[in-house]
Structure 1
Amino acid sequence: MNRFSYTRADDIASALNAHNAPAAAFLAGGTNLVDLIKEGVARPDRLVDIRRLPMKAIEAADNGGMRIGALATNSAVAYDERIQSRYPLLSKALLAGASAQIRNVATVGGNMLQRTRCHYFYDTATPCNKREPGAGCGAMNGVNRIHAILGASEHCIAVHPSDMCVALAALDASVLVTSDSGDRTIAFDEFHRLPGDTPQKDTNLRDDEMILAVDLPAEGFADHHAYVKVRDRASYAFALVAVALGLKLDGDRIDDVRCALGGVAHKPWRNRDAEAALRGKTLTRAAVRDFASAMVSDARGRPCNAFKIELTTRAIVRAFEHASGNKLAASEDDPT
């Protein structure tokens, strides 16, 4: 572990000022950052403790939605009565991730910024373009069962590990950030990045910026939603495939659909063209299977993870079954 200085900030201005240094990092819950420091993956020269900042509130917003402070814990959000009643998809996604002890400490902002759980990223004895640009990708021809089938590049096939972020992507949330230059809002779809030629960059957050809050829109799909997480064991495991789904139904007609996938790409995966094609259609298994196929139309499997393509389509169908209250009529020749 490298040596570093420690500063505790009492207000946002002092936090930004203290962070304005090479290799500085904000410290909140620390559930990911501390692990990265212990493993020698992250080597900050300065830690800026922001836990005292007034960013823990969960409150109504002017747009009819909700604003969640970046320092609100995952448990506080998951068990908030307003979140459970208006945005149950978000609550369920949070409760599907990590242990209760971690949720009690982990923050919303930290959850959004957590790094991949790729084995090669954590093993400093192996090559990793995300950890050391230009070193190569050990997962490309290695053990890549948990890795990406969508949006990958020749430089990186890691996946984003968050459950919460998959739900936020499906809800069309936005992220409020600040810097010395002022505040700005980033659409959640644009917050995380695909690896491209710069896999070391997980987000479009600038180095001088700090997350203040997450804003939820008024529509929370409280009546028809599902979070389906497929994992190797029933608890405390990252998703092989996750599906966050929100539906608006008029009888059997699909008026609106939002679907985000986790465990399959470097960021929560949306296919807005596939969503648009499904709107207005009757809720049938055939229509949903076509939608699921469209969601993975660009998928590329590797020897260890090609199974995730079919697994993803089946998980999407399962999510529609849950979200529709089992209204999805099964056809005799469909094994899903």
Structure 2
Amino acid sequence: MPHLRPGALVPPRREKRPLPRIPVPVARAIVDCAVYVEGQRQPGRVTYTDALKQVRESGAGFVWLGLHAPDDAQMAHVGAVFGLHELVVEDAVNAHQRPKLEIYDDVQFLVLRTVKYVDHDSIEQASEVVETGEIMIFAGPDFVVTVRHGDHTHLSGLRHRLETKPNRLVLGPTAVLHAIADLVVDSYLAVTEEMEDDIVAIEQSVFNKQKRWLDIDPVYLLKREVLELRRAVTPLTGPLARLTADNTLVPKEVRRRFRDVADHLSTVVERVVEYDELLTSLIDAAAAKVGIQQNSDMRKISAWVAIGAVPTMVAGLYGMNFDVLPGMHDSFGFAIVVTFLLIVCVGLWAVFRRHHWL
């Protein structure tokens, strides 16, 4: 019988290869798709490729395609069908974009940051005040493509409301662009109104005289959330200014409506800046209050240490067993020393008390 080396019958190990990624169809990311002619939604369900073909062959109406968090392959296919530039297609997939407006030929690409107020019982127990998401809008001559990132960027209600107003949809894709921007800016107003209650609660907590200890963490939390809201709101002023200016891609009536949105945004920006400055002042006041509390505690500790130092010093001297100390050979010596210590300690306590150290 031939000699076998150890492990000769063990088959060689094969490296595990990752399974190939199965592309997800674009239909998984589609929320809604419809054709609108003369402001009326056309009946029936249709794919976005057939819808765009129908609009371009008839030369009337436009397509509104809604997507939710598409991946690279899905967005690339949509971009190829609608003729979108590869740079904006990449931006639509990658979330956390800064609010902006880019124009590629006859296609306008608008990025909006959405915000949602997180309900909580009290600001001291809250871990988050504002949630953010994104809406990206492609508005062309005969199509609107909306890409949403986040769980609270619902546009179905807006679509249904617009479908009841054909006189708005008849203005074309830019009317949808305006409606979405108006919805987002109105949500900014609602969030700032709700955050005002939290700021008032923080202000009362900071200046509450009955509250000895101050928790400064809620102030920093609200400051961080206001900065997050400011990053979502402030950069939008530039894009809205471009949309309200003389723009051949936006009809005159829609530009007038954009001016109203820009006015509401100015109100939001003023509120956010005011909240930011107020919270900065509250942080300084809270830090000063904490410093005063620490100084007060140190004064009390120092006062009690000074009072305790007198009997400690006297006890240390008498504990050295010297005969020359007063009262060592007197039967009333101990009582005299104790009485003297009590008088000195009570006197020190009265002095510190009068100077508000105790």
Q: Which protein is bigger by CA-based radius of gyration?
A: 2
Q: Is the TM-score greater than 0.5?
A: no
**More helix per residue:** 2
The TM-score normalised by the length of structure 2 is 0.27
**More strand per residue:** 1
